[in-house]
Amino acid sequence: MTTAAAPFIAVVDSGIGNLRSAEKALQRVGADARLVDDPDAVVSADGVVLPGVGSFGHCRKALAARGLDAAVAEVAARRVPLLGICVGLQMLYEGSEESPGVEGLGLLGGVVARLPAGVKHPQMQWNRLVVSSPSCRLLAGPDLAPPSEPWVYFVHSYAAPVGPETVATCDYGGAVAAVLEAGDGRLWATQFHPEKSGAVGLALLAAFVAEVAAQRPTSVGRA
């Protein structure tokens, strides 16, 4: 009997923070997920996850030091499924107020800004996800799609601008971009941590893995 091989998802390892939780969550929902710090391995993956922990500038410079920024840009250009998480989402933009003068990857237009005044910084809490674009395939599951407003876990002081790529927000002193979809449905990102958001986060990651498997150029089987 031949079954389809699990898609290889590269979890980009810039050397900052403990990224094992993202790797293990992806494995739990059926991916062949591995931490990868080699640009060639990133480029050869069926799908890529770009996490980020800490400051925008620190993460961005760590990516560049290992040549991983060019690999992520190549993946995006070839329309390989890509998912950014937390600061990984923020690095998709042109820059951030957190690190003036440090360029982002520029895959999306705009600059990441500090959360509004009048709320605690960072937002470190569970918050409700309000889906504004039910056509987003990562948010199509019963635990995620409207009218459901699931709880997910955030840790951040900066956020991307709400724009045409924003498919879900949370309310934290106003609407805050929480989920993005761009690149003709090949580029996604979450400001929250799906790997720390229980069953809801696993459902989103499972949807990403399913998209990666469906978008592979050819089906690979193993005995």
> CA–CA separation, 64 vs 30, rounded Å?
30
Q: What is the mean pLDDT of the chain?
A: 93
pLDDT tops 90 at residue 190 = yes
Task: Count Cα atoms within 13 angstroms, Cβ side, for 28.
Answer: 15
Q: Please name the residues in contact with 208: beta carbons below 8 A apart, sequence gap of 6 or more.
A: 47, 49, 81, 83, 138, 188
pLDDT tops 80 at residue 162 = yes
pTM of the model: 0.94
Say what percent of the chain tops pLDDT 70.
96
Q: What integer pLDDT is reported at residue 36 of this predicted model?
A: 96
pLDDT tops 50 at residue 222 = no
Q: What integer pLDDT is reported at residue 220 of this predicted model?
A: 44
Band (3; pLDDT cuts 50, 70, 90): low
Residue 221's identity, in one-letter code, is G
Task: Count Cα atoms within 13 angstroms, Cβ side, for 114.
Answer: 11
Superfamily of structural domain 3-222: Class I glutamine amidotransferase (GATase) domain (3.40.50.880)
Residue 178's identity, in one-letter code, is A
pLDDT tops 90 at residue 38 = yes
Residues annotated catalytic, as ranges: 86, 193, 195
Provide mean pLDDT across the span 76-103.
97
